A and B are shown apart, each in its own frame.
Chain A
Amino acid sequence: MDQRIFVAGVGVISAIGKNLAECLDSLENGRAGIGDMICLDSVHKQKIPVAEVDMSNDDLAHLSGLSKTKSRTALLSVIAAREALNNSGIEDIEALRTGFISANSVGGMDRTEKFFADFFFNNQKGRLRDVVHHECGSITELVADQLGIKDYITTISTACSSSANAIFFGARLIKNNILDVVVAGGTDALTKFTLNGFNTLMILDEQFCQPFDDKRRGLNLGEGAGYVVLVSEKVAASLQKKPAVTLSGFCNANDAYHQTASSPAGTGSYLAMEGALRRSSLQPAQIDYINLHGTGTQNNDIAEGTAIMRLFDPHYPKMSSTKSFTGHTLGGSGGIEAVFSILAVEHGIIYPNLRLQTPMKELPFVPETTLTKNVNIKNVLTNSFGFGGNCTSLIFSKF
């Protein structure tokens, strides 16, 4: 029953590019996507930097084939999921048992906010069409319809670990012979709801974030979507372009400490990473790169850093937080960072952790500050830790 799970295709859209090639180019050239708010119309404009996808809803609609009246969350999702499917080399998904496991935290909130602005002043105003796809599950269904996936569709909503959880749930469905192909990952668009909420928790950085820096001040919110196409061994063998990366390990654990903060010892992070290693039968020293959760908050970075110390000492792999490029994309982060991790294996690259100036004094290791190419990367660990103590780690390996 424990067959290998192959990655046949990946797709992504974020503040650093509207597709794989653009994102990879930005990562290789140290080009972050953080800046002033342009698309979102908030009172915090020009005060709080964010990492928006550099496209209006009209442009996203055009690229996705969905109407511009649909939620930005769905528009982003279709673009990335379709790119992943197109790259997979699977010619006819209807001939295989195919599922769509998608995660998000805001659902269609961006459209609901537009509705509410009109409705609040006059309850005869506001277009009801704007709230039809408010629910998280509704966004998934909308995108599944657009992609033509019918066999199995579900939504996971566990905050910042959501899309990583979607990915390993997809793997389980294949391992249990319920599906042959799964498009799994997640999406989130920037909304006032989220921006105001994070602002009131006082964990936003008013400058560009500095993950794992001793003087870090908080996170920058981002938006985007990232999906992988997972396939069974049988499907992998049938493809013309043979997949070269597998999902070799995964684990989810609960930190059981606080609703929104991580335990100082990084218990949940430790258990998730340790469990993923155990499942993949790898030793810590065999990990070549860690894509950190690395949000840039005081709390996450010390908790995650402490857990890494406990697990990897004294052999620390190279590591970096790509949230220094894309911001924290919440429901999309596990998916986007899984894609970046897979690209790292495929292209032999280790991304830099941008804007790291002063290493954290508590930790005996420092993330990479420069790009490294032509590295023989066999195993990448990627972390996604969410509110509610929900911690997930995934391992992608070269086949």
Chain B
Amino acid sequence: MNKLISELKIQIIEQLNLQEVKPEDIADDQALFVEGLGLDSIDALELIVLLQQHYKIKLSNAEEGPKVFRSVKTMAEYITAHQSRNV
């Protein structure tokens, strides 16, 4: 899980063009939207693309988004749960 979280932070920074942010600036439990990193609705869509591109997970219901993308930790948990189901 820790390895996945580290990888996710790097991927998020790259996918969302967060050029002034370093992986160590993002806490595992930190809110990604509204407060925290202050991401917006387009960023949410790019995170859906990230899940598909890197983890082959398709989030087709946008309403699940806020829960899944609440923090890097919740993203990692979602990926772990869905990847083991795909196996």
Contacts and interface: CB of A to CB of B under 8 A. Distances in A.
Contacts of B41: 258, 261
* Interface residues of chain B: helix, strand, loop or mixed (majority): helix
A200 B45 contact: yes
* Interface residues of chain A: helix, strand, loop or mixed (majority): loop
A260 interface: yes
Contacts of A259: 42
Interface in A246-293: 258-261
B51 interface: no
Q: Which size bracket describes the interface of B in this complex?
A: under 10
A202 B45 contact: yes
A247 to B, nearest CB: 35
Interface of B: 40-42, 45, 48-49, 62
A1 interface: no
A316 B52 CA distance: 46
Contact of B62 (A202, A258, A260, A261): A202
B49 A200 contact: yes
A261 B62 CA distance: 16
A95 interface: no
A201 interface: yes
A98 to B, nearest CB: 42
Contacts of B62: 202
A210 B28 CA distance: 40
A258 B45 contact: no
Enumerate the 3 nearest inter-chain pairs by beta-carbon distance, A residue then B residue, closest first: A202-B62, A261-B41, A202-B45
Contacts of B42: 201, 259-260
12 contacts: A200-B45, A200-B49, A201-B42, A201-B45, A202-B45, A202-B48, A202-B62, A258-B40, A258-B41, A259-B42, A260-B42, A261-B41
A258 B45 CA distance: 15
Contacts of B48: 202
A352 to B, nearest CB: 29
A382 B86 CA distance: 50
Nearest to A202: B62
Nearest to B49: A200
A170 B26 CA distance: 52
A161 to B, nearest CB: 20
B29 to A, nearest CB: 27
Among A201, A202, A258, the most chain B Cβ lie within 10 Å of the Cβ of A202
A200 B62 CA distance: 11
Nearest to A206: B60
Given A200-B49, A201-B42, A258-B40, 9 more contacts: A200-B45, A201-B45, A202-B45, A202-B48, A202-B62, A258-B41, A259-B42, A260-B42, A261-B41
A13 B67 CA distance: 44
Nearest to A259: B42
A368 to B, nearest CB: 30
Interface string A2-20: 0000000000000000000
A293 to B, nearest CB: 19
B47 to A, nearest CB: 12
A261 B40 CA distance: 11
Nearest to B46: A200
